[in-house]
Amino acid sequence: MIEIKNIKKGFGPKTVINDVSAVFRTGKCNLIIGTSGSGKTVMMKCLVGLFEPDSGEIIYDGQNFSEMNEERRKELRQNIGMLFQGSALFDSQTVEQNVMFPLDMFTKKTYPEKLRRVNEVLERVNLKDANKKYPAEISGGMKKRVGIARAIVLNPKYLFCDEPNSGLDPQTSLLIDKLIKEITEEYNITTVVNTHDMNSVMEIGDHIMYMYQGVKEWEGSNKEIIFSKNKLLNDFIFASEFLQDAKDMRMLEAKGKIDNNRNMDELLK
């Protein structure tokens, strides 16, 4: 579990995050959503220590990250996996070498031990025969899966995903969402996903925090978000007529006025 308390962050005179508190629970996909400039990326960078909050606390399973010295933070970071927006693979290294990189950096395992672990995670993300391929030889979806394999190779307790579906087609995005959710539940990881993809919100949003201009405007689950009365959130989610119609159908369904064959879940499949 990760808890944030009254986080504030600004750059010069501009306040980017203003007094935000939340709890990101273990074994759940915790989503931070919002438009560009809402503060969600800055929030994630604060969570992993790339930015220092101006005030407030970040607590990892009872350990106050905000008060740790650099040595203790380094120890904690070995329990953190990160999936970057552009995958951030090393172009000059094979898939196998990319995934092995954290093991080379943070462990003293022998090469056969490291290779065995690399093969385990590559098989887990359905890339069993991709070891010797280079990033230029694989698709965007495969690159994301390599990124996930690298992020989980050290058996992290915490997983951060920055726009995991950026640049992917809808079908591949669904596969990545499913994989993130499966891994989160299978390994009981605290997963935090930074996204504006509404498919991700509806598919894997166990807990959702909506940010607007640096403030937490709403939080709840993907089951609750459809019924939100928050105008800012609704304007963000239901920007298209299709989604607004889907919301109206879900509301009617909840009141028992239409049959289950026309529910929103079917529409969004």
53 found inside a domain: yes
pLDDT given at position 167: 83
Contact by Cβ (8 Å): 205, 222: yes
Percent of the chain topping pLDDT 70: 88
b/e 123-136 (16+ beta carbons within 10 angstroms → b)? ebbebeebbeebbe
**Residue 239 resides in a domain:** no
Q: In the prediction, which pLDDT does 239 show?
A: 64
Domain membership flag for residue 101: yes
State pLDDT tens for residues 170-221. 888 999 999 999 999 999 999 999 998 888 898 999 999 999 999 999 999 9
Per the DSSP assignment, residues forming a β-bridge with 8 are 55
With a cut of 90, say whether residue 99 has pLDDT above it.
Answer: yes
Name which residue leads in pLDDT, 242 or 81: 81
Give me the number of domains the chain comprises.
Answer: 1
Tokens (6 digits) for 231: 């105008």
What pLDDT does residue 168 have? 86
pLDDT digits (tens, 9 = 90+) for 210-260: 999 999 999 999 989 888 889 999 888 876 444 555 555 555 555 554 455
- pLDDT value, residue 100: 97
Mean pLDDT taken over the chain: 88
Q: How confident is the model at residue 60 (pLDDT cuts 50, 70, 90)?
A: very high
Q: Contacts from 65-70 at CB under 8 Å and sequence distance 24+?
A: none
Whether 206 is covered by a domain: the verdict is: yes
Q: What is the pLDDT of residue 170?
A: 87
* 263 domain residue, yes or no: no
CATH number at residue 60: 3.40.50.300
Task: Give, in degrees to the nearest 5, the angle at Cα 150 between 184 and 158.
Answer: 40
Task: State the residue range of the domain holding 93.
Answer: 2-222
* DSSP class per residue in 210-240: EEETTEEEEEE-TTTGGG---HHHHHHHT-S
d(CA 134, CA 230): 46
- Is the residue at 154 inside a domain? yes
CA–CA distances in Å: residue 30 to residues 35, 209, 243: 17, 8, 22
Q: Is the pLDDT of residue 56 over 90?
A: yes
168 within a domain of the structure (yes/no): yes
- Which residues neighbour 6 within 8 Å (Cβ) at sequence distance 6 or greater? 19, 20, 21, 55, 56, 57
- Contact yes or no for 163/83 (Cβ under 8 A): no
Q: Residue 70 has which token pair?
A: 């650099």
Task: Please state the pTM of the whole predicted model.
Answer: 0.85
34-61 mean pLDDT: 93
Q: Residue 7: is it exposed, middle or buried by C-beta count within 10 angstroms (0-12/13-18/19+)?
A: buried
| Percent of the chain clearing pLDDT 90 (strictly above) | 68
Per-residue pLDDT reduced to its tens digit, 23-40: 999 999 999 999 888 999
Question: Is residue 261 situated within a structural domain?
Answer: no
Between CA 144 and CA 167 the distance in angstroms is: 10
- What is residue 85's predicted lDDT score, i.e. its pLDDT? 82
CA 3 vs. chain centroid, Å, equals 16
